[in-house]
Amino acid sequence: MAGLEPSQARLEQARALIDLGACCAAPTGAPTHESLRRGLQLAYRAGAAGLVKHAQDELAATGARPRTLALTGVEALTPSERRVARMAARGLWPTRRSPKPLFVTVKAVEAHLSSVYRKLQIKSRTQLADVISGLR
């Protein structure tokens, strides 16, 4: 698989990862699940509906729980993460003030923002504002 990593052939990489996960299926095989999940995400981003369905079926056959199709990017954000990200991007939580508009604790906001940063692969509020500005 390492040979496909730098390639622009994302659909072929997705197909290879899904095939690898399918042929090496073992009920407790975390590497199998990881290959299938990575292949699923690449297929989803490539718009390959048939390949997405195949990956989902293979994941279900291994006993993996269903997950969101996108693991990174704006599509991966939950509705709560989107709300918190929008408000943080607007500067509503620059400090540890209570996030009263959402009626949640500061810890919950911090957890959501941590997840948002990971999913969007960003590290700062400035980057968050740039990404969220196009999100409705």
Report the pLDDT value the prediction gives residue 93, as an integer from 0 to 100. Answer: 63
Q: How far apart are the first and last CA of the chain?
A: 36
Tens digit of pLDDT for each residue in 106-126?
888 889 999 999 988 999 888
The reported pTM is 0.53
pLDDT digits (tens, 9 = 90+) for 41-61: 888 888 888 998 998 888 888
- Residue 129 CB neighbour total at 10 angstroms: 16
Tokens linked to 44: 């989803």
